[in-house]
Chains A and B, each alone.
Chain A
C-alpha cells in the first residue's frame, strides 16, 4: 500500500529573494534521496510561501525496493585447495556474506576465475528511513544565513515548526530543537492552528486558513486582479516580472489595492516616481492607456479585504512622505547651478589612493580629450565630449541622487537640461554609466560612448595600478563588468584605436595626476592579463573556440572589433577543406620561426626562382594586407595572406632553408621570419587545432 508524504518547514518570514530557490532545492533533494534509497513514488509537488517550504509526495512505497547484489570473492585458485575442495578462504567469504558454499558460482574476469555469491538485499520499511528528512532540511542553501536563540544551525531564518506525515503517521525527527508533528499554522492573522490528519488535505486546509501555498497560484491571483483593475479603471498596469516574483513571495494571501497620490507630484521625473513606488514600497505604477503615469499605484496586501481602506490610507501616507521629500530635494537642487555641485566633487573621495571624484573627473576629461584626438573627432564632437566629461559626475552631489542613488546619471541628464546644457551633453551624462550590466544597453551617442569608456578605464586602470586587481569573487568596484562594458562599446563603435593604446593613455594620465602607481611593468602585465581574460569571455560569448581565441590574442587584444572579426573569420575557415593547403603552408612557415629575431633580406643572395617569387609575392601581400587591416576587413586580410600559400609551398619544395652557406641560410631565415611576422600579426595560426580532416 502506497501512502502520501507531507513535509512542511515553518519559518519566520524568509527573504522573498530566497523563497523560489529554496523550494526547488527541497523538491530536488527529496526526489534524489528517494531515488538513492530505492523508494518508489508517483509524483512530487512543492510549495512555498514566505513562512513555509513544503513538499507533497504521492504514492510512496511502504518499503524500499528489494534488490539482488553480487558479492565478489577471492580467485578460484585460492578458493579451492589442491583436491578441489572449498578452501578456508572460500568458506570465510561465504560466511561473511551470510551465505553457504553451496551458493557459490564462478565468473571470469580478464582471464581469471573468481567466486561469487548473490545476495538479496531486502528493502527496509520506508517509515524507518524518513527521519533522514532532517539532513535534507539542513542541507538547503541560502544566500545568507543566520543563527538564533541557542541553536548552532545556520539557516535563512529561524525554523518554528515542522509538519511531517507519512500517511497519517508523524515522521519523528527534529531540526534545531524543533520536533516534528502533524500541526501547521494558517495565515499569521487570519488563520488558525491546523492539525492535519493526512497529507492530501494540506493544500485545501491551508487555503481555508488564508494561505495559498502554491506560489504560482498566488501570482495568478495577483495578475487576475491587476487585469480586472485595468479593465474597470481604464488603466495600463505594466507588470515588472521581478517585482511580481518578489511581491508574490512577500504574501501568503494576496489582495490587491489601488492607492492615489497628489497630481502635483507627477511633475517629478518619472524615474523618481517609479523608484519610489517600485523599489521602496513594492507598488506597481499605473499608466493611462496613452502610457502616461497616473497619480495611482497598485499594492498587494498580505490578507483579505477587511480594513482595506485603512491599509490604502496608510500606504498613501508613506508614499506621500517620500514624494514630498523628493519634491523638496528636486526644488532645492534646481535652485543651484552645475558649478555649485561641481565644486563639491573635490571634497568627496572616490578612492583613497585615487583621490576625489573631482580628481577623477579631471582624468576623465584628459582621457576623453586624448580619445577625441586619436579618433579624429571633429571640433563640435570634441567640444561636446569634453563638456560631458567635465560635468558627468555633478549630479552625485545633488540631494536627489543622495536619496535615490540608483538614479545617478538619469537625474544628471534632467538637471543638465534644466541648467541649460545642450541635449547631446545632457544625454551623455546619463549614457556614460552604460552598460549598467555587462550585457546591458550601450551608450547611444558617440560622446556618451567616449565618456563612458574614459570613466571606466580610469576606474579599472586606477584600481589595478594601486593593487586592487579583482581576485576570485572579490570585485568591489565591479572592474570585470566595467572592462566588458569598455570592450563591448569599442566593438560596437568600431573605433580606430587599440585597447593597448587606450590603456597607455590612461596610465599616462594617472601618472601625470600624481597617483602612486606600483611597479609599472607589473601593472602593464596585470592589465594585459585582466583584459585578455575579459576578451576571451567576449569571444566565447560569440561562439569562438578557445584555441582561436588564443591565436588572435597571442600578442595583444588590439582593435577590439577587428580582433573579434578575425576570430570569426578563422572560425569560418577552420572546417573548410579548401583552406587546408593554406593553413599547412602558413603553419609550416610559422613552425620554422619560433624565435622572433630576424635580419634584413638581401635580394642579391637569392639563388632560386621560387625564393625570388616568394619575396616578390610577400612584398605585394604586405601592402595589400596593411590596406585590409586599416579597413578592418578581417576576412579579406586573411584572404590576402592566403594568396602566399602557393609560393610558400614552392619555396619549401625547392629550397633548403638550412643551407650550408651561412649567408644564404641567414637570408632565407630572414625571409621566412619576415613573412611569419606578418602572419602572426593576424593570428598565431600554429595555436589552432585545424579540423578540416574530420
Chain B
C-alpha cells in the first residue's frame, strides 16, 4: 500500500466514525497537535471529532536528505475525538487492519507513554503503540490543554505516516517510500529537505528571525486583547516555528530557551482561556446542536 492509499484508507475509516475530514492547517507547525483543530477545539464541553493529515516541520531534525529516518518535515495523521469513545482502542485497531496489518501475524502493544508539551501547557496519558517493536502511533487522552483541565476528555491518535509506511512497504530508507504509483518520497521531498536544511542550519537570517519572533509575539498579544482568538493563535504558531528555526541554528542558549518557551506557553495559555470564554459567550453552539 502506498502512502496515498494509506491516507485515503485512514480518511475513509475515520470518516465512517463520523469524524470531520479536515485539510492540513496552513500555518507551519511542529506537530499535528498544534493545529487549532486539535489544540483549541479539544477545549471546553463541545463534542468534536476530526481527522486530518498534518505536515509537521521539525527544523532540528533536518538532515539534508541524507538520513534514512529523519526529516525536516514529516506527516502525521491526526484523529481527535471528544469525548473519547469507549471503544476507541478497537476503532484504532480496526484502522490498522484496514491498512493491511493483520494483528494475528504481528505483535501490537500498548506501551505506557505519558505525553507532555510544555510549550502548549498540554499533558496527557496514554501509550505509544508498538508494531513489532516499532512505535507507530501516539495514543493520548488529553488531561490538560493550554493550562486548562480537559473535560470532557479528548483522545488524540497520531499516526506517524512515514514510520508506518516504511513498515507496510518494507523499506529501510524513508526516501524510497512510494507516495503514489511511480512517485517516491524522494521525488517529492528530497529537494525541499535539502534546501530547508541548508536554510535552517546555514543561511537563515538570524537577526530577521529574532525580530519576527518579537513582532509575531506582539501581534499575538494585541490581537488577543481584541478578542480575536483564531488570528492570535496563528501568530503563536508563527512564534513557535520561528523559535524552532532559531533553536535549530543553535543561536538560543539554554537559559534563553526556557525563556522563549515560557513566552510561547503564556500566550497559548491565555488564548486557551480566551477560546473557552468566547465559545461560552456564543453558547457552546456545537453542544446545543448535539442536544437537538
The reply to whether the CB of A638 lies closer than 8 angstroms to some CB of chain B is: no
Nearest CB of A to B144, in Å: 10
Kindly supply a per-residue 1/0 record for chain A positions 61-92, scoring 1 wherever the CB is within 8 Å of any chain B CB and 0 otherwise: 00000000000000000000000000000000
Give complex CA distance A13, B253 in Å: 40
The reply to whether the CB of A111 lies closer than 8 angstroms to some CB of chain B is: no
In the complex, the answer to whether A314 meets B109 with C-beta atoms within 8 Å is no
In the complex, the answer to whether A307 meets B114 with C-beta atoms within 8 Å is no
The reply to whether the CB of B184 lies closer than 8 angstroms to some CB of chain A is: no
In the complex, the answer to whether B133 meets A148 with C-beta atoms within 8 Å is no
The reply to whether the CB of B192 lies closer than 8 angstroms to some CB of chain A is: no
Nearest CB of A to B152, in Å: 4
Give complex CA distance A175, B153 in Å: 17
Chain B residues contacting A303 (CB-CB under 8 Å) are: 104, 107
When the two chains form the complex, which single residue of B109, B111, B172 contacts A317, counting CB atoms closer than 8 Å? B172
The reply to whether the CB of B127 lies closer than 8 angstroms to some CB of chain A is: yes
When the two chains form the complex, which single residue of A17, A307, A347 contacts B105, counting CB atoms closer than 8 Å? A307
Chain A residues contacting B86 (CB-CB under 8 Å) are: 149, 158, 160
Q: A314-B131, A318-B133 are in contact. Are A148 and B110 (CB under 8 A)?
A: no
Q: A250-B111, A325-B69, A348-B254 are in contact. Are A147 and B151 (CB under 8 A)?
A: yes
Total interface residues in chain B, CB < 8 Å? 40
Q: A12-B89, A146-B143, A310-B106 are in contact. Are A319 and B114 (CB under 8 A)?
A: no
The reply to whether the CB of B275 lies closer than 8 angstroms to some CB of chain A is: no
The reply to whether the CB of B231 lies closer than 8 angstroms to some CB of chain A is: no
* CB proximity to A under 8 Å, residues B235-278: 253-255, 258
The reply to whether the CB of B121 lies closer than 8 angstroms to some CB of chain A is: no
Total interface residues in chain A, CB < 8 Å? 43
Q: A146-B143, A149-B153, A188-B103 are in contact. Are A310 and B132 (CB under 8 A)?
A: yes
Chain B residues contacting A307 (CB-CB under 8 Å) are: 102, 104-106
The reply to whether the CB of B34 lies closer than 8 angstroms to some CB of chain A is: no
Nearest CB of B to A178, in Å: 9
* CB proximity to A under 8 Å, residues B178-198: none
The reply to whether the CB of A131 lies closer than 8 angstroms to some CB of chain B is: no
Q: A147-B143, A318-B132, A318-B133 are in contact. Are A189 and B153 (CB under 8 A)?
A: no
Kindly supply a per-residue 1/0 record for chain A positions 245-275, scoring 1 wherever the CB is within 8 Å of any chain B CB and 0 otherwise: 0000011000000000000000000000000
Nearest CB to that of A306 among chain B residues? B104
The reply to whether the CB of B134 lies closer than 8 angstroms to some CB of chain A is: yes
In the complex, the answer to whether B133 meets A281 with C-beta atoms within 8 Å is yes
* CB proximity to A under 8 Å, residues B63-97: 68-69, 83-86, 89, 93
When the two chains form the complex, which single residue of B84, B102, B255 contacts A148, counting CB atoms closer than 8 Å? B84
The reply to whether the CB of B157 lies closer than 8 angstroms to some CB of chain A is: no
In the complex, the answer to whether B167 meets A314 with C-beta atoms within 8 Å is yes
Chain A residues contacting B69 (CB-CB under 8 Å) are: 321, 325
When the two chains form the complex, which single residue of A13, A147, A315, A324 contacts B110, counting CB atoms closer than 8 Å? A13
Give complex CA distance A310, B100 in Å: 14
The reply to whether the CB of B125 lies closer than 8 angstroms to some CB of chain A is: yes
When the two chains form the complex, which single residue of A17, A50, A158, A302 contacts B107, counting CB atoms closer than 8 Å? A302
Nearest CB to that of B151 among chain A residues? A147
* CB proximity to A under 8 Å, residues B23-54: none
* CB proximity to B under 8 Å, residues A283-319: 299, 301-303, 306-307, 310-311, 313-315, 317-319
In the complex, the answer to whether A189 meets B132 with C-beta atoms within 8 Å is no
Nearest CB of A to B102, in Å: 7
Nearest CB to that of A51 among chain B residues? B110
Nearest CB to that of A146 among chain B residues? B125
The reply to whether the CB of A352 lies closer than 8 angstroms to some CB of chain B is: yes
Give complex CA distance A93, B254 in Å: 77
The reply to whether the CB of A129 lies closer than 8 angstroms to some CB of chain B is: no
Q: A147-B141, A160-B86, A319-B133 are in contact. Are A314 and B106 (CB under 8 A)?
A: yes
Give complex CA distance A682, B104 in Å: 73
The reply to whether the CB of B108 lies closer than 8 angstroms to some CB of chain A is: yes
Most chain A CB atoms below 10 A, which of B69, B85, B93, B106: B106
The reply to whether the CB of A693 lies closer than 8 angstroms to some CB of chain B is: no
Nearest CB of B to A420, in Å: 28
Most chain B CB atoms below 10 A, which of A17, A147, A349: A147
Chain A residues contacting B131 (CB-CB under 8 Å) are: 314
Nearest CB to that of A315 among chain B residues? B133
Chain B residues contacting A313 (CB-CB under 8 Å) are: 132
The reply to whether the CB of A569 lies closer than 8 angstroms to some CB of chain B is: no
When the two chains form the complex, which single residue of B134, B143, B155 contacts A314, counting CB atoms closer than 8 Å? B134
In the complex, the answer to whether B110 meets A12 with C-beta atoms within 8 Å is yes
Chain B residues contacting A144 (CB-CB under 8 Å) are: 114, 125
Give complex CA distance A352, B255 in Å: 6
In the complex, the answer to whether A149 meets B104 with C-beta atoms within 8 Å is no
When the two chains form the complex, which single residue of A150, A160, A301 contacts B152, counting CB atoms closer than 8 Å? A150
The reply to whether the CB of A16 lies closer than 8 angstroms to some CB of chain B is: yes
Nearest CB of B to A273, in Å: 16
Chain A residues contacting B125 (CB-CB under 8 Å) are: 144, 146, 157
The reply to whether the CB of B112 lies closer than 8 angstroms to some CB of chain A is: yes
Nearest CB to that of A18 among chain B residues? B112
Most chain A CB atoms below 10 A, which of B69, B124, B133, B155: B133
Nearest CB to that of A145 among chain B residues? B125
Chain A residues contacting B127 (CB-CB under 8 Å) are: 13
When the two chains form the complex, which single residue of A147, A317, A349 contacts B255, counting CB atoms closer than 8 Å? A349
The reply to whether the CB of A172 lies closer than 8 angstroms to some CB of chain B is: no
Q: A190-B104, A310-B106 are in contact. Are A16 and B134 (CB under 8 A)?
A: no
Give complex CA distance A189, B69 in Å: 30
Chain B residues contacting A50 (CB-CB under 8 Å) are: 110
Chain B residues contacting A310 (CB-CB under 8 Å) are: 105-106, 132
In the complex, the answer to whether B254 meets A149 with C-beta atoms within 8 Å is no
The reply to whether the CB of A15 lies closer than 8 angstroms to some CB of chain B is: yes
Kindly supply a per-residue 1/0 record for chain A positions 190-214, scoring 1 wherever the CB is within 8 Å of any chain B CB and 0 otherwise: 1000000000000000000000000
Nearest CB to that of A312 among chain B residues? B132
In the complex, the answer to whether B112 meets A16 with C-beta atoms within 8 Å is yes
Chain A residues contacting B93 (CB-CB under 8 Å) are: 188
Chain B residues contacting A190 (CB-CB under 8 Å) are: 104
Nearest CB of B to A305, in Å: 11
Chain B residues contacting A250 (CB-CB under 8 Å) are: 109, 111
A-B contact pairs, 28 of them (CB 8 A): A13-B109, A13-B110, A13-B111, A144-B114, A144-B125, A146-B143, A147-B141, A147-B150, A148-B153, A148-B155, A150-B152, A150-B153, A158-B86, A158-B141, A189-B103, A189-B104, A189-B108, A250-B109, A250-B111, A251-B109, A281-B133, A299-B133, A303-B107, A307-B102, A307-B104, A321-B69, A325-B69, A347-B254
Q: CB within 8 Å of A: which residues of B? A: 68-69, 83-86, 89, 93, 102-112, 114, 124-125, 127, 131-134, 141, 143, 150-153, 155, 167, 172, 253-255, 258
Given pairs A148-B141, A157-B125, 4 additional interface contacts (CB within 8 A): A146-B124, A188-B103, A321-B69, A325-B69
Complex A-B, nearest 6 residue pairs according to Cβ-Cβ distance, in ascending order: A314-B132, A307-B105, A15-B112, A13-B110, A315-B133, A349-B254
